[in-house]
């Protein structure tokens, strides 16, 4: 069984439906309850049809067993299978359909809103690194969400994305969702404030970008979750050597 421990925390794959439901409950707390987006009684799980096809990674406190972080992973043999992904609901992924290497979609990443320990994110990326190496994954991708639909409040972050982090043209996904913000066009020539950008940038997205990741030129407005998200890709071979070594130290 896959497991990885560092300090106070243990990362492992879900082994039962109860494990998956614990992840769904944490997702609900992080995505819905903690932001005041209440649902009717009895609906305190964030669940969808993709859960059954994915592997679920749980990060727990080693002593108490408390779940502090979770995410799900969907392995794909190549770009020909992208239609199976969660991201394909929102983005036209045709430009990536010719990608020949193995791919891994990471989604529904969340940390317990009451936890602020950076070791949690570090161990989560260590777990992803071990799985990427074990399975020969060449590209990691997913949707990175800003926890707001207020574009103006995140304009500096999007300006920095447009200026520095757009996907290579050959991999740049196209518009599919009914409601999008074409921020790269809208903010053309604007210099974002880097400090403000980092304050507004989701931690997961900052991690992707720090490893050489890139994003779509438009953001999808997800009214159901109250988020703006961008398609995010990371070619494993492009990760800077020093960062790759640091990840593998955590991955063991």
Domain span at residue 199 reads 3-251
Instruction: Give dist(CA 125, CA 106) in Å, integer.
Output: 11
Predicted confidence band at 41 (pLDDT cuts at 50, 70, 90)?
Answer: very low
- Its pTM stands at 0.94
**DSSP secondary structure string, 116-166?**
--HHHHHHHHHHHHHHHHHHTEEEEEEEEEES-S-GGGGHHHHHHHHHH-B
Q: What is the pLDDT of residues 193-233, one digit of tens each?
A: 999 999 999 999 999 999 999 999 999 999 888 899 999 99
Q: Which two structure tokens, joined as six digits, stand for 194?
A: 């880097």
Q: In this predicted structure, what is the pLDDT of residue 252?
A: 81
Instruction: Give dist(CA 98, CA 96) in Å, integer.
Output: 5
Q: Is 97 helix (H, G, I), strand (E, B) or coil?
A: coil
Instruction: Give dist(CA 82, CA 75) in Å, integer.
Output: 10
Instruction: Give dist(CA 179, CA 245) in Å, integer.
Output: 40
Rg (CA), the chain: 17
Instruction: Give dist(CA 62, CA 60) in Å, integer.
Output: 6
Mean pLDDT of 37-63: 85
Q: What is the pLDDT of residues 174-198, one digit of tens each?
A: 999 999 999 999 999 898 899 999 9
Q: Where are the beta strands (DSSP E) in the chain?
A: 3-6, 9-13, 55-61, 67-76, 91-92, 102-111, 137-146, 174-175, 180-181, 214-215, 219-222, 227-235
Mean pLDDT of 6-22: 96
Return the closest-CA partner of residue 35 out of 151, 113, 115, 145: 113
Q: What is the pLDDT of residues 122-158, one digit of tens each?
A: 999 999 999 999 999 999 999 999 999 999 999 999 9
Q: What is the mean pLDDT of the chain?
A: 94
> The domain spanning residue 95 has which CATH number?
3.40.630.30
Query: Phi and psi of 147, rounded to 5°?
Result: -85, 55
Query: In the chain, how many domains are there?
Result: 1
Residue 8: CB partners within 8 Å, gap ≥ 6? 61, 62, 63, 117, 119
């Amino acid at each position: 069984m896959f497991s990885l421990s560092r300090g106070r925390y243990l990362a492992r794959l879900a082994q039962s439906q109860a494990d998956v439901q614990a992840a769904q409950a944490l997702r609900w707390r992080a995505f819905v309850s903690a932001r005041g987006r209440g649902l009717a009684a009895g609906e305190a799980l964030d669940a969808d049809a993709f859960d059954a096809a994915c592997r679920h990674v749980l990060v727990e406190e080693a002593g108490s067993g408390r779940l502090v972080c979770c995410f799900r992973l969907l392995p794909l043999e190549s770009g020909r299978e992208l239609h199976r992904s969660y991201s394909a609901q929102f983005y036209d992924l045709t430009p990536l359909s010719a990608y020949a290497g193995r791919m891994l979609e990471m989604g529904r990443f969340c940390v317990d809103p009451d936890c602020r320990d950076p070791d949690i994110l570090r161990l989560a990326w260590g777990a992803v690194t071990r799985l990427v190496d074990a399975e020969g994954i060449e590209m990691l991708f997913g949707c990175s969400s800003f926890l707001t639909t207020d574009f103006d409040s995140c304009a500096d972050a999007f300006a920095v994305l447009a200026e520095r982090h757009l996907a290579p043209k050959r991999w740049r996904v196209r518009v599919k969702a009914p409601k999008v913000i074409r921020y790269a066009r809208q903010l053309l020539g604007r210099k974002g404030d880097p400090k403000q950008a980092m304050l507004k940038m989701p931690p997961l997205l900052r991690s992707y970008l720090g490893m050489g990741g890139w994003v779509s030129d438009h953001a999808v407005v997800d009214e159901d979750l109250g988020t703006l998200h961008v398609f995010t890709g990371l070619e494993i071979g492009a990760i800077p050597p020093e960062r790759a070594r640091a990840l593998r130290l955590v991955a063991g």
